[in-house]
Amino acid sequence: MGANRGLRLISLLFLLGLTLTLLWLQQQRQEAARSLVVRVEPGSAARMAAGEVLLVFPQQINLRLSEQDTLVIRNDDSEPITIGPYRIAPGQQFVQRYTSPGTFDLLCSIHASGKLRVVVTR
C-alpha cells in the first residue's frame, strides 16, 4: 500500500505542476496581445474646424486576429468624436477587439474624409 500511496502523490504533484504551467502559458498569451492605441490630441476638433487637415491616424487601420490585436481610440480632446456608431466623450476611450476577419468601413468625425477603414486579417 505504501507504493500505491507514493504513486498517487507523484500523480497529484504532476497534475498540479501541469495545471500551473497551463495557467502560466495562458497568462503569457493574454499579455502578448497587442493594442493599437490612437490618441486624439487636445485641440484636434478646434484645429479641424479652423480648416487644418489633421493626420490623427491613417485612413486604414490593419489588425491581425493571430496577434489578438485590439483597437483603442482615446479621446484627449475637449470635444466628443464619433467612430462608427460610437460617440467617444472627452477623456473616454473606445476599445474594440475583433473576432472575425473582414473590412469594416466606419464613419469618423476626426478624418477630413469622414471615413475610417479597419481591415482585420487572420
Q: Please count the structural domains in the chain.
A: 2
Query: 16 and 47: one domain?
Result: no
**3-52 confidence digits (pLDDT tens):** 788 778 787 776 667 677 767 666 655 544 788 899 999 999 899 889 88
SS (H, E, C) the chain: CHHHHHHHHHHHHHHHHHHHHHHHHHHHHHHHCCEEEEEECCCHHHHHHCCCCCCCCCCEEEEEHHHCCEEEEEECCCCCEEECCEEECCCCEEEEECCCCEEEEEEECCCCCCEEEEEEEC
Query: 84 and 26: one domain?
Result: no
Query: 40 and 53: one domain?
Result: yes
**Of 39 and 56, the one with more pLDDT:** 39
**74-117 confidence digits (pLDDT tens):** 999 999 999 999 999 999 999 999 999 999 999 999 887 889 99
Read off the pLDDT of each residue in 69-75 and give the average, rounded to a whole number: 94
Query: 54 and 90: one domain?
Result: yes
Query: 56 and 71: one domain?
Result: yes
> 59: domain range?
34-121
